[in-house]
């Protein structure tokens, strides 16, 4: 009974095996004997892509034809991670492919590991966008992600002599099998020049923009398949090019270099991702990037809309556009420009459409992290948009004046234009005014937004404010990254939890089952052994898989307080040196994270970690009871190795500084316990898993404010706390820096004389909490119970729940099921 399946769509083992060989030959131009691992990876990737295309095209077609609302998620960053493994999971063909690859004498994991990840983001915000695309597709919501196809993503981090060195990320150099260029859908984007008033044929007053130069945007599409559904949405990333790549006039005049000038200029636009996770002042190219992808995306939505609709009157009924922070906030003004200047709408109806269409997600509380652009740069680059922003602002301030008469301070804080010293365009104000919903990313964050940086907007339109607590996709962050745990859980409660994460609750019934706890420990042990091997291979440090894996992976930032973690390590070191018989469980401290290249303190913190590691890892007195590892080049791929292997998750930011955090969720979902402050989503994680299963320490947000209001004096803690003094003195005297007292002194000085993130104020509380961690770890049965309960109670933190809330409360969109037909 032989069935011949199509080589492009068939899912049985034999067909997949044949299809891979076919693609190897016809796409890579190789036969097995001379093919490299990368060739096989490419052949397999194309084989998987073939199986996606049917679903993808059906989804695109259906969304175009049906008059259902779509979500457009606008984000300057999408940190999607490698596609191959994830697509196998979502297609539900992992096992077949594993077998097919095996029968060809290869190993699937090795091919998966060959994929270069698209590093098109800095950290949390970009990764959140990727989790949300996964959930949108899994929930069958018509959606499209719009962003920039950076030629070079976030830099690769090397560690040389303990310092971070940045290397260009050439992720495209061997080709990208997951994207399809769509040059036929290119659009034009204006920059610079001037505006001009004119009267049209009907005698109406209008404005046109006469640009100095025009850049072409070319879309590159990547399918984003949902889990076990036919919905495959699109991630559409724009690449810039010159309109005319060659200037013949100049060439003929003998100006050979001038002839390609505009080409070089335009192509620079999307060359590189800014590696900062805070706004950088006045970088014109960054503003160009933002306007470029926003302008391309809105034109694309309008073009799509007009295929099936005769006007844009119902644009807001068919599109919900979400602004991922203020990076795409210029879209508010750009949609107004397109409606008024290009489609000849009156201002008021255009504004109704605009406000109904946009939602704005804020990701920060730090006032210094609010994006603002010098008026001079903005006006020179986007003259027409600045005029429109002035018009939006004038009309808005008129309404404010009526609601709060004679309140100059309200007016100036709400105005889009900051007139303090130099003049700036405040992007958060533009986003708030132009959106019908404004949300924070965790309960605490959303409350603090209303009390602090967006207080005056809250007073003006309370009905716009809401919260959507972040979530992460269990497909990538459990099923793909932790197959052993997935298998154990599924044996017990079936597999519905993978897209109904609340079902993990059922694990609670096994918490008293000693054999289950032992299997649970066994899984964690095996995953830790894998990571131990990786660590030895990568950095040459031998770690004990039975030790407590204490992990902090995230961007390096003073507010995230990696250096508080280091103060604890040195405290333990001093204790063990003075009392070698001290009974504490051995620990392996694992760090990972990139520092913004221009962030002096963050780079010193990396040097502090590696320096302390060098001393501790090589001190024979310690008998391997403490190890400190800095894993270079932390990214999505490495995260997938690290989260499953962690025993303890470090979430130790100063209260009130971390908007949400999402790594905290990935750890806890994989059975790590958290040591953390009452910050961001930690608050809700603790609420869910239970206070008794969470190691809490530190000042609360109001206490932080209180301490600061009385004139915080960090020296006081140094003077009164002998153990803390011993730690800081040891750093100061050059003990960790081969006698060099200058190297790490900036960190110590900052803590003693400024300490803006209150490390010294939280030090003792952190140390005490860490002692509780050590005590708990000694009782492995108790630890396992806590670990199981953490996983069982994390259902809330699926990005499926987050996306459902966006759909219900912000976007008002419905799922559309996709039927598979040819």
* Interacting residue ranges for ligand 26Q, rule: CB under 6 A: 122-125, 128, 274, 276-280, 286, 327, 363, 371, 441, 470, 658-662, 680
Catalytic residue among 55, 83, 149, 363: 363
Q: Which is nearer to ligand 26Q, 276 or 415 (CB)?
A: 276
In angstroms, the Cα distances linking 666 to 124, 471, 798, 799 are: 12, 9, 10, 11
Number of neighbouring beta carbons within 10 Å of residue 594: 26
Q: Which is nearer to ligand 26Q, 128 or 389 (CB)?
A: 128
Beta strands in 301-459 (DSSP E): 319-324, 358-361, 372-374, 417-418, 424-426, 437-440
Catalytic status, residue 560? yes
Catalytic residue among 114, 231, 326, 662: 662
Catalytic residue among 327, 426, 476, 555: 555
Q: Which two tokens stand for residue 69?
A: 């609302």
Q: Any idea what the Cα angle at residue 778 is, between residues 777 and 781, rounded to 5°?
A: 75
Distance CA 368, CA 428 (A): 12
Q: Which is nearer to ligand 26Q, 90 or 324 (CB)?
A: 324
Minimum distance of ligand 26Q from residue 779's CB (angstroms): 32
Distance CA 598, CA 583 (A): 42
Coil vs helix vs strand at 673 = strand
Minimum distance of ligand 26Q from residue 650's CB (angstroms): 14
Task: Give the closest residue to 147 by CA, choosing from 125, 175, 174, 177.
Answer: 125
Q: Which is nearer to ligand 26Q, 610 or 682 (CB)?
A: 682
Number of neighbouring beta carbons within 10 Å of residue 383: 19
Beta carbons of 791 and 674 less than 8 angstroms apart? no
Minimum distance of ligand 26Q from residue 374's CB (angstroms): 13
Catalytic status, residue 500? no
Minimum distance of ligand 26Q from residue 348's CB (angstroms): 32
Q: Which is nearer to ligand 26Q, 101 or 685 (CB)?
A: 685
Q: Which is nearer to ligand 26Q, 29 or 598 (CB)?
A: 598
Distance CA 811, CA 804 (A): 10
Distance CA 415, CA 513 (A): 61
Minimum distance of ligand 26Q from residue 326's CB (angstroms): 8
Minimum distance of ligand 26Q from residue 394's CB (angstroms): 26
Q: Which is nearer to ligand 26Q, 486 or 660 (CB)?
A: 660
Q: Which is nearer to ligand 26Q, 289 or 637 (CB)?
A: 289
Beta carbons of 444 and 659 less than 8 angstroms apart? no
Catalytic status, residue 674? no
Minimum distance of ligand 26Q from residue 280's CB (angstroms): 5
Number of neighbouring beta carbons within 10 Å of residue 145: 26
Distance of CA 362 to the CA centre of its chain: 13
DSSP notation for 475-519: IIIIIIT-HHHHHHHHHHH-SGGGT-GGGGGGGGGGTT-HHHHHH
Catalytic status, residue 363? yes
Rg, C-alpha atoms of the chain: 28
Q: Which is nearer to ligand 26Q, 656 or 661 (CB)?
A: 661
Q: Which is nearer to ligand 26Q, 45 or 128 (CB)?
A: 128
Find all residues with CB under 8 Å of 814, minimum gap 6, and list them.
68, 69, 141, 807
Q: What residue spans of 27-107 are helical by DSSP H?
A: 37-65, 84-91, 94-103
Q: Which long-range contacts (CB under 8 A, 24 or more apart) does 179-186 make?
A: 179/149, 179/220, 179/221, 179/222, 179/237, 180/220, 180/221, 180/222, 181/218, 181/219, 181/220, 181/221, 182/218, 182/219, 182/220, 182/221, 183/218, 185/219, 185/300, 185/303, 186/216, 186/217, 186/218, 186/219
Minimum distance of ligand 26Q from residue 366's CB (angstroms): 9
Q: Which is nearer to ligand 26Q, 15 or 799 (CB)?
A: 799
Distance CA 474, CA 135 (A): 10
Catalytic residue among 83, 372, 464, 666: 666
Minimum distance of ligand 26Q from residue 369's CB (angstroms): 7
Minimum distance of ligand 26Q from residue 446's CB (angstroms): 12
Minimum distance of ligand 26Q from residue 157's CB (angstroms): 17
Residue nearest to ligand 26Q (CB): 124
DSSP notation for 754-822: T-TT-HHHHHHHHHHHHHHHHHHHHSHHHHHHHHHHHHHT-GGGBHHHHHHHHIIIII-----PPP---
Q: Which is nearer to ligand 26Q, 108 or 652 (CB)?
A: 652
Beta carbons of 680 and 444 less than 8 angstroms apart? yes
Minimum distance of ligand 26Q from residue 355's CB (angstroms): 23
Distance CA 633, CA 503 (A): 35
Beta carbons of 238 and 290 less than 8 angstroms apart? no
Which helix (H) or strand (E) element contains residue 256? none
Q: Which is nearer to ligand 26Q, 226 or 471 (CB)?
A: 471
Catalytic residue among 560, 657, 686, 793: 560
Residue 633 DSSP class: S
Coil vs helix vs strand at 528 = helix
Catalytic status, residue 554? yes
Catalytic residue among 49, 216, 437, 554: 554
Catalytic status, residue 426? no
Minimum distance of ligand 26Q from residue 664's CB (angstroms): 8
Distance CA 334, CA 385 (A): 7
Distance CA 102, CA 107 (A): 6
Beta bridge partner(s), residue 234: 144, 223
Residue 342 DSSP class: I
User: Which active-site residues does the annotation give?
Assistant: 363, 554-555, 560, 662, 666
């Amino acid at each position: 009974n032989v069935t011949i399946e199509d080589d492009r769509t068939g899912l049985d083992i034999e067909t997949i095996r044949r299809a891979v060989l076919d693609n190897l030959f016809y796409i890579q131009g190789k036969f097995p004997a001379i093919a490299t691992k990368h060739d096989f990876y490419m052949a397999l990737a194309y084989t998987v892509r073939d199986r996606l295309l049917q679903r993808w095209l059906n989804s695109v077609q259906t969304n175009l034809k049906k008059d259902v609302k779509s979500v457009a998620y606008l984000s300057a960053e999408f940190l999607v991670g490698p596609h191959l493994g994830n697509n196998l999971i979502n297609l539900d063909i992992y096992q077949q492919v594993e077998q097919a690859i095996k029968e060809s004498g290869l190993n699937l994991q090795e091919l998966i590991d060959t994929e270069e990840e698209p590093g098109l983001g800095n950290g949390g915000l970009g990764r959140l966008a990727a989790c949300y695309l996964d959930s949108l597709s899994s929930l069958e919501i018509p959606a499209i992600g719009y962003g920039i196809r950076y030629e070079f993503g976030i830099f690769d981090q090397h560690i040389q002599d303990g310092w971070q060195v940045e290397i260009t990320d050439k992720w495209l150099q061997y080709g990208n099998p997951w994207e399809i260029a769509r040059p036929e859908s290119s659009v034009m984007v204006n920059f610079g020049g001037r505006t001009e008033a004119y009267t049209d044929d009907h005698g109406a007053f209008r404005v046109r923009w006469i640009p100095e130069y025009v850049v072409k945007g070319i879309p590159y599409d990547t399918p984003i398949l949902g889990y076990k559904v036919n919905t495959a949405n699109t991630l559409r990333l724009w690449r810039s090019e010159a309109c005319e790549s060659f200037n013949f006039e100049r060439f003929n005049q003998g100006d050979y270099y001038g002839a390609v000038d505009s080409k070089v200029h335009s192509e620079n636009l999307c060359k590189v991702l800014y590696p900062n996770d805070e706004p950088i002042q006045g970088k014109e190219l960054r503003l160009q990037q933002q306007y470029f992808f926003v302008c391309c995306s809105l034109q694309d939505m309008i073009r799509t809309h007009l295929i099936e609709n005769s006007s844009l009157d119902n644009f807001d009924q068919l599109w919900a556009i979400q602004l991922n922070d203020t990076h795409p906030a210029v879209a508010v003004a750009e949609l107004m420009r397109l409606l008024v200047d290009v489609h000849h709408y009156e201002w008021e109806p255009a504004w109704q459409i605009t406000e109904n269409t946009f939602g704005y997600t804020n990701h920060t509380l730090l006032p210094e992290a609010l994006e603002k652009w010098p008026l001079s740069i903005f006006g020179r680059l986007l003259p027409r948009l600045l005029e429109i922003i002035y018009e939006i602002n004038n009309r808005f301030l008129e309404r404010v004046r009526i609601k709060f008469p004679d309140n100059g301070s309200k007016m100036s804080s709400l105005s889009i234009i900051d007139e303090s010293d130099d003049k700036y365009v405040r992007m958060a104000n533009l986003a708030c005014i132009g959106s019908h919903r404004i949300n924070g990313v965790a309960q605490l964050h959303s409350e603090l937004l209303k009390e602090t940086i967006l207080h005056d907007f809250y007073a003006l339109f309370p009905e716009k404010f809401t919260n959507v607590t972040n979530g992460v996709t269990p497909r990538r962050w459990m099923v793909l990254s932790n197959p052993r745990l997935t298998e154990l859980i599924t044996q017990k409660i079936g597999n519905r939890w993978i897209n109904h994460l609340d079902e993990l609750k059922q694990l609670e019934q096994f918490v008293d089952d000693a054999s289950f706890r032992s299997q649970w420990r066994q899984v964690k042990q095996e995953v830790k052994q894998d990571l131990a091997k990786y660590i030895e291979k990568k950095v040459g440090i031998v770690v004990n898989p039975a030790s407590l894996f204490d992990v902090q992976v995230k961007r390096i930032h003073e507010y995230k307080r990696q250096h508080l973690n280091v103060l604890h390590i040195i405290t333990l070191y001093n204790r063990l040196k003075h009392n070698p018989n001290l009974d504490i469980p051995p620990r392996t401290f694992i760090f990972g994270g990139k520092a913004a290249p221009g962030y002096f303190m963050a780079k010193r913190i990396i040097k502090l970690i590696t320096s302390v590691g060098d001393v501790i890892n090589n001190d024979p007195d310690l008998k391997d009871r403490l190890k400190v590892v800095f894993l270079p080049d932390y990214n999505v791929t490495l995260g997938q190795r690290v989260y499953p292997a962690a025993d303890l998750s470090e979430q130790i930011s100063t209260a009130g500084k971390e908007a949400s955090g999402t790594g905290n969720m990935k750890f806890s979902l994989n059975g790590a316990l958290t040591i953390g402050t009452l910050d961001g989503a930690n608050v809700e994680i603790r609420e869910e898993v239970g206070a008794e299963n969470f190691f809490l320490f530190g000042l609360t947000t109001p206490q932080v404010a209180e301490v600061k209001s009385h004139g915080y004096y960090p020296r006081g803690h140094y003077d009164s706390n002998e153990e803390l003094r011993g730690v800081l003195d040891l750093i100061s005297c050059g003990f960790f820096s081969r006698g060099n007292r200058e190297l790490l002194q900036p960190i110590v000085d900052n803590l003693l004389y400024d300490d803006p993130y209150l490390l010294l104020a939280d030090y003792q509380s952190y140390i005490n909490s860490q002692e509780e961690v050590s005590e708990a770890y000694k009782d492995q049965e108790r630890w396992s119970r806590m670990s199981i309960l953490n996983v069982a109670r994390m259902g809330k933190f699926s990005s499926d729940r987050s996306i459902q809330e966006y759909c219900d409360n912000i976007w008002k969109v419905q799922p559309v099921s996709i039927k598979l037909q040819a």
